[in-house]
Amino acid sequence: DAMVIQNPRYQVTQFGKPVTLSCSQTLNHNVMYWYQQKSSQAPKLLFHYYDKDFNNEADTPDNFQSRRPNTSFCFLDIRSPGLGDAAMYLCATSPGTGSYEQYFGPGTRLTVT
């Protein structure tokens, strides 16, 4: 089945220690998104790639970076995690042109100690 895969599902990192979350897709979609979701909050878009074009949301902290080496993979790098970065991180994909639906992975729960 075509899907969006996120690894790991649970990640524990120390305060200030860089961490990378990964997302892969078998849907061959053009667009890949990263969202941050804190408890009882709406998913908040951090950035997205349309093909290789990177689009950063205005209020996404510089501490968050992303890489998309190819169509299938996208990475979220948190350079110096703070306690406030503990959250669920959701990856989503979309075909792009003509389709508005986004397809989500199961998420990675990040804990910062």
Partner 1 sequence: DQQVKQNSPSLSVQEGRISILNCDYTNSMFDYFLWYKKYPAEGPTFLISISSIKDKNEDGRFTVFLNKSAKHLSLHIVPSQPGDSAVYFCAARDNYGGSQGNLIFGKGTKLSVKP
Contact between 4 and partner 1 per CB under 8 A: yes
Residues between 69 and 88 with contacts to partner 1, criterion CB under 8 A? none
Pick from 30, 63, 75, 104 the residue near partner 1 by CB under 8 A: 104
Q: Is 40 left (phi over 0), alpha (psi -120 to 50) or beta?
A: left
Contact between 59 and partner 1 per CB under 8 A: no
Contact between 41 and partner 1 per CB under 8 A: yes
Beta strands in the chain (DSSP E): 4-7, 10-13, 19-25, 31-37, 44-50, 53-56, 64-67, 73-78, 87-94, 103-104, 108-112
Residues contributing to the site for partner 1 (CB under 8 A)? 4, 6, 9, 33, 40-45, 48, 50, 55, 90, 92, 100-107
